[in-house]
């Protein structure tokens, strides 16, 4: 995982509510045994028509979306399937952070483990972001703040451990492996 | 010690290292269920880091998601048609062989959907922690286990360390009282719970389903309830183990036996919420007020009573988009809506009692002209039991298709698909856009509501078809 401190980018707004992981990447793309190249299938059923051609009216196909690293989603994103292919696809497409009013538990965990920052904001900030697509935001993981173009700082919740892992590019498996003495002790105590 | 909830007891019994302000808890996992779709990339990580599976004896594999359900592709000696699915299955076989994991392969008579096989074999036990790279792992909570879905990175963590890093979730009691009426099933009850709590209402919480109505449910009904806890966004759903639980487990292949059985039951009995324990949140449901339910929209919270009208909203673009996808109108009654496909299957509703209930509706009737009725038992064991009872003959005589077990039409990745624009009454768990195939229109309902739709050719009240 690459260390990440600061995200500075324009936003893309996808205002749909309750965007589930089947929309982020449909199940038919899950027969892969690799995690590479899934960005091509991101939002496949919204992005392409039945002939497989990009739909001009879908926001990710517009020139304004090119290079954007911040996805502002409608209320609640990531519900449904536990497929980690969802954050893999979002990151492969180029996103580094997802903003919504609510982010489903498994999707949130999967995102953090891949260096994709899930940000939950309050209703009024969310409404402002939805109403102003394409604005430039500055997101500091160090300060846990999101800075609007007018200079307003909005703080967001990010647990200390997740922040540490993002800032240092630490992967959790290394940390877990370092706990092996305790794990062994637990297994002995529980005769398992 | 102060009174504790069922969840808190299971959680604290598995804390290898408690959480602090700076670090999550290290939580021990008793049982790791795995399948072909969400494991390949995890084994790649293990291999690249030179790691072994820490506890192969606590890891168990089956294949279900991308596997075909046509008998010819399973037993007929012809290869799986979808080349990438075939590769995925082959890779699961080689990974399990390399790392020493027990696997139920495609032709194994015990194979089936991971959440149906675990309980059937007695692997799912009260008070334990169970994870799987699949969100419907919540099913196993019906036994008083703490069971939840994880992503592939976490699958790798459990393979390598038998542990997960977790923040302690909140608790939410779902108190259910009142007798379920005639033709009202566990599926209808859980759809009603999701409608009341909302599809994100459970985020960050573990549900405990409790109260007299829950205590009266069979294990198979409890599994249907816990299965769909995730559809309300819950981390997990749990039900305290009781005599019904113990009777279900007794004599199962992997359940304790002899003196170990008595010791296990005594231990399992401690996994209940203490009198006076406090939940972070409570929801009350009167089951006696419920009728058969069906979904009309694109998430499981968008449901109505079978004879009610689809709500009328003003200026709700999200609602309008969902109805437009479904080809339905506000104020419309779903009853009488023609359907083209009926799917009886999935980890929600493909156990023996589900097949029996649907067969009782089907018996002596014919599937309506122009309707495909796909019956997919949840496991090969369920299939064998159903055949021993002659249920397959009832379905086949009516004109249904009788398949090998698997996830099938619950999610469009194994060849079983609903065509664009077609309506499917489905006993599965998700009615998301495209879930059953690109452009497919899913109406979630109980097995008897599905069977009624199959014979009527349209959405129907199952109470009109009960024997």
- A1 pLDDT tier (thresholds 50, 70, 90): confident
Q: What is the dihedral of CA B253, B215, B356, B133, to 10 degrees?
A: -60
Question: B321: which 2 tokens?
Answer: 């988009």
> How many domains does one find in chain A?
1
Interface A:B, Cβ pairs < 8 A? 178
With a cut of 70, say whether residue A192 has pLDDT above it.
Answer: no
- A21 pLDDT tier (thresholds 50, 70, 90): very high
Beta bridge mates, A182:
none
Beta bridge mates, B402:
B375
Residue A182 sits at the chain B interface (C-beta within 8 Å): yes
C-alpha A186/C-alpha B354 separation (Å) is: 40
C-alpha A32/C-alpha B400 separation (Å) is: 32
Q: Give the pLDDT confidence score for residue B315 in this predicted structure.
A: 87
What structural domains and CATH numbers belong to chain B? 1-291 (3.30.499.10), 293-464 (3.30.499.10)
| Chain B residue with the nearest C-alpha to that of A115 | B153
| CA distance readout (Å), B123 to B145, B150, B230, B351 | 11, 18, 21, 17
C-alpha A149/C-alpha A134 separation (Å) is: 11
Put simply, the answer to whether A106 touches B149 (Cβ < 8 Å) is yes
Residue numbers in B near A192 (CB within 8 A): 30, 58
The three-state DSSP-derived secondary structure of chain B is: CCCCCHHHHHHHHCEEECCCCCCCEEEECCEEEECCCCCHHHHHHHHHCCCCCCCHHHEEECCCCCCCCCHHHHHCCCCCCCHHHHHHHHHHHHHHHHHCCEECCCCCCCCECHHHHHHHHCCCCCCCEEEECCHHHHHHHHHCCEEEECCHHHHHHHHHHCEEEECCCEEEEEEEECCCCCCCCHHHHHHHHHHHHCCCCCCCEEEEEECHHHHCCCHHHHHHHHHHHHHHCCCEEECCCCHHHHHHHCCCCCCCCCHHHHHHHHHHCCCCCCCCCCCCEEEEEEHHHCCCEEECCCCCCCEEECCCECCCCCCCHHHHHHHHHHCCCCCCECCCCECCEEEECCCCCCCHHHHHHHHHHHCCCCCCCCCEEEECCCEHHHHHHHHHHCHHHHHHHHCCEECCCCCHHHCCCCCCCCCCCCEEEECCCCCCCCCCCCCCEEEECCHHHHHHHHHHCECCCHHHCCC
Burial of B76 (0-12, 13-18, 19+ CB in 10 A): exposed
Question: A12: which 2 tokens?
Answer: 């893309």
Each residue of A43-55: pLDDT tens digit?
999 999 999 999 9
Shortest Cα–Cα distance, A127 to chain B (Å) = 15
Q: Give the pLDDT confidence score for residue B65 in this predicted structure.
A: 97
Phi, psi at residue B442, to the nearest 5°? -100, 135
Residue A108 inside a domain? The answer is yes
Please give the angle made by the CA atoms of B235, B239 and B240, to the nearest 5 degrees: 130
Q: Give the pLDDT confidence score for residue B388 in this predicted structure.
A: 98
Shortest Cα–Cα distance, A175 to chain B (Å) = 9
Burial of B388 (0-12, 13-18, 19+ CB in 10 A): exposed
Residue A149 inside a domain? The answer is yes
From the list B103, B129, B130, the residue with the least C-alpha distance to B35 is B103
Residue A28 inside a domain? The answer is yes
Q: Give the pLDDT confidence score for residue B1 in this predicted structure.
A: 79
Residue A118 inside a domain? The answer is yes
Full residue range of the structural domain in which residue A133 is found: 6-189
Residue A171 inside a domain? The answer is yes
C-alpha B456/C-alpha B353 separation (Å) is: 22
Interface test with A, best of B53, B150, B161 (most A CBs within 10 A): B161
Give percent of chain A above pLDDT 90. 97
| Angle of helix B40-48 versus helix B83-99 axis, rounded to 10 | 40
Residue A1 inside a domain? The answer is no
Shortest Cα–Cα distance, B150 to chain A (Å) = 6
Residue A157 inside a domain? The answer is yes
Put simply, the answer to whether B28 touches A183 (Cβ < 8 Å) is yes
* pLDDT tens, per residue, chain B with 467 residues: 799 999 999 999 999 999 999 999 999 999 999 999 999 999 999 999 999 999 999 999 999 999 999 999 999 888 899 999 999 999 999 999 999 999 999 999 999 999 999 999 999 999 999 999 999 999 999 999 999 999 999 999 999 999 999 999 999 999 999 999 999 999 999 999 999 999 999 999 999 999 999 999 999 999 999 999 999 999 999 999 999 999 999 999 999 999 999 999 999 999 999 999 999 999 999 999 999 999 999 999 999 999 999 999 988 888 999 999 999 999 999 999 999 999 999 999 999 999 999 999 999 999 999 999 999 999 999 999 999 999 999 999 999 999 999 999 999 999 999 999 999 999 999 999 999 999 999 999 999 999 999 999 999 999 999 98
Nearest to A34 among B21, B41, B157 (CB): B41
Ramachandran region of residue B215, left (φ > 0), alpha (ψ -120 to 50) or beta? alpha
Residue A106 sits at the chain B interface (C-beta within 8 Å): yes
Residue numbers in A near B412 (CB within 8 A): 26-28
Put simply, the answer to whether A20 touches B321 (Cβ < 8 Å) is no
Alpha carbon distance, N-terminus to C-terminus of chain B: 52
Residues 6+ apart with CB under 8 A from B441: B325, B326, B327, B418, B421, B422, B423, B424
Residue numbers in B near A79 (CB within 8 A): 199-200, 233, 299
Contact call for residues B361 and B446 (beta carbons, < 8 A)? no
Beta bridge mates, A7:
A139
Question: B22: which 2 tokens?
Answer: 């700076």
| Chain B residue with the nearest C-alpha to that of A111 | B151
Contact call for residues B50 and A42 (beta carbons, < 8 A)? no
Q: Give the pLDDT confidence score for residue B261 in this predicted structure.
A: 98
Question: Which residue carries 């065509």 as its tokens?
Answer: B419
| Chain B residue with the nearest C-alpha to that of A106 | B150
Put simply, the answer to whether B30 touches A192 (Cβ < 8 Å) is yes
User: CATH code at A77?
Assistant: 3.20.19.10
C-alpha A32/C-alpha A35 separation (Å) is: 8
Residue numbers in B near A113 (CB within 8 A): 151, 153-154
C-alpha B294/C-alpha B110 separation (Å) is: 32
Residue numbers in A near B94 (CB within 8 A): none
C-alpha B354/C-alpha B448 separation (Å) is: 8
Residue numbers in B near A81 (CB within 8 A): 134-135, 411, 430
Question: B108: which 2 tokens?
Answer: 């194994």
Nearest to A172 among B157, B204, B318 (CB): B157
Burial of B343 (0-12, 13-18, 19+ CB in 10 A): buried
Interface test with A, best of B15, B16, B47, B115 (most A CBs within 10 A): B16
Question: B461: which 2 tokens?
Answer: 């009240």
Residue A21 inside a domain? The answer is yes
C-alpha B87/C-alpha B395 separation (Å) is: 33
C-alpha A10/C-alpha A1 separation (Å) is: 23
Q: Give the pLDDT confidence score for residue A191 in this predicted structure.
A: 72
Note which residues in 4-63 of chain A have CB less than 8 A from chain B: 15-18, 20, 22-23, 26-28, 30-35, 45, 50
Each residue of A47-81: pLDDT tens digit?
999 999 999 999 999 999 999 999 999 999 999 99
Phi, psi at residue B91, to the nearest 5°? -70, -35
Beta bridge mates, B227:
none
Contact call for residues A25 and A38 (beta carbons, < 8 A)? yes
C-alpha B104/C-alpha B34 separation (Å) is: 11
| CA distance readout (Å), B205 to B147, B151, B279 | 13, 18, 10
Q: What is the mean pLDDT of residues A12-25?
A: 97
Alpha carbon distance, N-terminus to C-terminus of chain A: 33
Contact call for residues A119 and A139 (beta carbons, < 8 A)? yes
Q: Give the pLDDT confidence score for residue B77 in this predicted structure.
A: 85
Beta bridge mates, A70:
A11, A97
């Amino acid at each position: 995982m690459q260390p990440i401190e600061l995200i500075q980018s324009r936003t893309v707004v996808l205002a749909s509510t309750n965007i589930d992981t089947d929309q982020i990447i449909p199940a038919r793309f899950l027969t892969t045994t690799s995690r590479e190249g899934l960005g091509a299938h991101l939002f496949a059923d919204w992005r392409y028509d039945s002939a497989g051609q990009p739909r001009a009216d879908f926001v990710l196909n517009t020139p304004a979306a090119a290079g954007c690293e911040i996805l502002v989603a409608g209320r609640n994103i990531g519900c449904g399937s536990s497929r980690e292919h969802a954050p893999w696809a979002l990151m492969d497409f180029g996103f580094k952070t997802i903003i919504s009013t609510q982010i489903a538990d498994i999707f949130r965990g999967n995102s953090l483990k891949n260096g994709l920052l899930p940000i939950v904001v309050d209703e009024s900030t969310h409404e402002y972001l939805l109403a102003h697509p394409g604005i430039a935001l500055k997101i500091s993981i160090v300060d846990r703040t999101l800075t609007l173009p007018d200079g307003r700082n909005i703080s967001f919740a990010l647990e200390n451990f997740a922040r540490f892992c993002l800032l240092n590019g630490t992967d959790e498996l290394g940390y877990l492996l370092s706990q092996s003495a305790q794990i062994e002790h637990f297994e002995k105590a529980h005769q398992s | 010690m102060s009174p504790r909830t069922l969840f808190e007891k299971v959680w604290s019994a598995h804390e290898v290292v408690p959480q602090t302000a700076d670090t999550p808890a290290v939580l021990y996992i008793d049982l790791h269920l795995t399948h072909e779709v969400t494991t390949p990339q995890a084994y790649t990580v293990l291999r690249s880091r030179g790691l072994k599976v820490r506890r192969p004896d606590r890891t168990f594999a089956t294949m279900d998601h991308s596997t075909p359900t046509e008998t010819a592709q399973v037993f007929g000696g012809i290869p799986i048609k979808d080349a990438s699915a075939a590769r995925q299955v082959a890779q699961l076989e080689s990974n399990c062989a390399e790392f020493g994991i027990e696997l139920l392969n495609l032709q194994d008579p015990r194979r089936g959907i991971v959440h149906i096989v675990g309980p059937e074999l007695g692997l799912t036990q009260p008070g334990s922690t169970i994870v799987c790279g699949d969100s419907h792992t919540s099913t196993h909570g019906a036994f008083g286990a703490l069971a939840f879905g994880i992503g592939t990175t976490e699958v790798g963590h459990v393979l390598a360390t038998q542990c997960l890093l977790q923040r302690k979730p909140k608790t939410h009691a779902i108190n259910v009282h009142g007798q379920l009426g005639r033709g009202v099933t566990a599926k209808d009850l859980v759809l009603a719970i999701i409608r009341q709590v909302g599809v994100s209402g459970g985020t960050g919480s573990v549900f405990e389903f409790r109260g007299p109505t829950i205590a009266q449910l069979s294990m198979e009904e409890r599994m249907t309830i816990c299965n769909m806890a995730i559809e309300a966004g819950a981390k997990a759903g749990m039900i305290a183990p009781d005599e019904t639980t113990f009777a279900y487990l007794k004599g199962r292949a992997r359940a304790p036996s002899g003196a170990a059985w008595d010791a296990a039951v005594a231990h399992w009995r401690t996994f209940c919420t203490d009198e006076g324990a406090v939940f972070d949140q409570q929801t009350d449901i009167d089951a006696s007020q419920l009728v058969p339910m069906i979904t009309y929209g694109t998430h499981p919270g968008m449901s109505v009573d079978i004879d009610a009208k689809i709500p009328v909203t003003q200026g709700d673009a999200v609602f309008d988009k969902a109805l437009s996808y479904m080809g339905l109108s506000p104020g419309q009654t779903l009853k009488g809506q023609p359907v083209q496909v009926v799917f009886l299957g999935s980890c929600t509703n493909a156990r023996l009692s589900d097949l029996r209930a649907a067969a009782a509706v089907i018996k002596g009737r014919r599937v309506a002209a122009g309707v495909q009725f796909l019956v997919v038992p949840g496991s090969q064991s369920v299939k064998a039991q159903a055949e021993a009872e002659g249920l397959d003959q009832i379905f086949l005589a009516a004109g249904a298709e009788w398949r090998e077990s698997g996830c099938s039409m619950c999610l469009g990745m194994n060849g079983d698909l609903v065509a664009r624009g077609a309506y499917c009454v489905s006993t599965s768990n998700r009615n998301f856009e495209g879930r059953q195939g690109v452009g497919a229109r899913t109406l979630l309902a109980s097995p008897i509501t599905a069977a009624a739709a199959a014979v009527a050719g349209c959405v129907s009240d199952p109470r009109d078809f009960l024997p």
